[in-house]
Amino acid sequence: MSASLDGRSVIVTGAGRNVGEAISRELVGRGARVAVVDLDQESADRVAKVLNGERPGSAVSLAADVSSPDDVQRMVNAAWDALGSVDTLINCVAITDRPTNVLDLSDDRWDQVLRVSLSSAFFTSKYVGRRMVDSGTHGVIIHIGSTSGFFARRNAIAYPTAKAGLYALVRSLALQLGGYGIRVNTVSPNKVGSPVGQAEEPPDRERKNLIGRACTPQDIASAVAFMVSEEASFVTGTDLLVDGGALIASGD
């Protein structure tokens, strides 16, 4: 039986497509209300319109650049105003430097990838966490990781560095926010949906896992819903790997 999320109010960043969109749909389907946040206002509006068509009043759309602390503060305040309060943050934002290596990656691109893929997790956790603590809310924060954070990549260096840093960040967040009743975790896919930064999934995208099929955005959405729910109320400071065994298969 799917865990109910009735009464939950959630910010989902990167929710205009792919994994973020699937998570928003799953959480709304379980009874939550969602602030659909995306850099692109039209994408956020489209997803919120679909959700409100399925369940009126279940979604609001907000545009924000989560690599900007000022924009994150504005977005968080707007979400609180729209939803009344927020008890859950799901951060799905990332960009990649693929295909590059250390010899040709520009300094500006390195900074941009780390800011979008790692600093965004710090900014959103900080400003959502502050509002949760100030209001006495026992909440949940989940960041979407990647198996790229566990091993070296030949065709990227900033993205795997950012994802590896995310795991250290989340452990410290869980330690520092645990006393306020806030759980912090990651959910980590492998090659889910369209590649990072792309709207469409190539039909010939190569995968290597133990399940024998592609990871779908719904696979990640279901895992996130579990981690948000009371069924995972004793889970914090850790990672839920949803990769079909790809990390193990990489050792073949």
Which residue numbers are catalytic?
Answer: 159
152 beta partners: none
| Of 50, 60, 26, the residue nearest 220 (C-alpha) | 26
Q: Give the 3-state secondary structure of residue 138.
A: coil
Q: Which residues contact 106 (CB under 8 A, 6 or more apart)?
A: none
Locate 126 and state its tokens: 């900080």
Hey, what's the torsion of the CAs at 13, 196, 95, 251, to 10 degrees? 110
User: How many of the other CB atoms lie within 10 Å of CB of 29?
Assistant: 16
Measured in whole angstroms, the distance separating CA 21 from the mean position of its chain's CA atoms is 10
Question: How far apart are the C-alpha atoms of 123 and 227, rounded to whole Å?
Answer: 21
CA dist 91 and 124 (Å) reads: 8
Helices assigned H by DSSP within 97-235: 107-114, 120-135, 158-177, 217-228
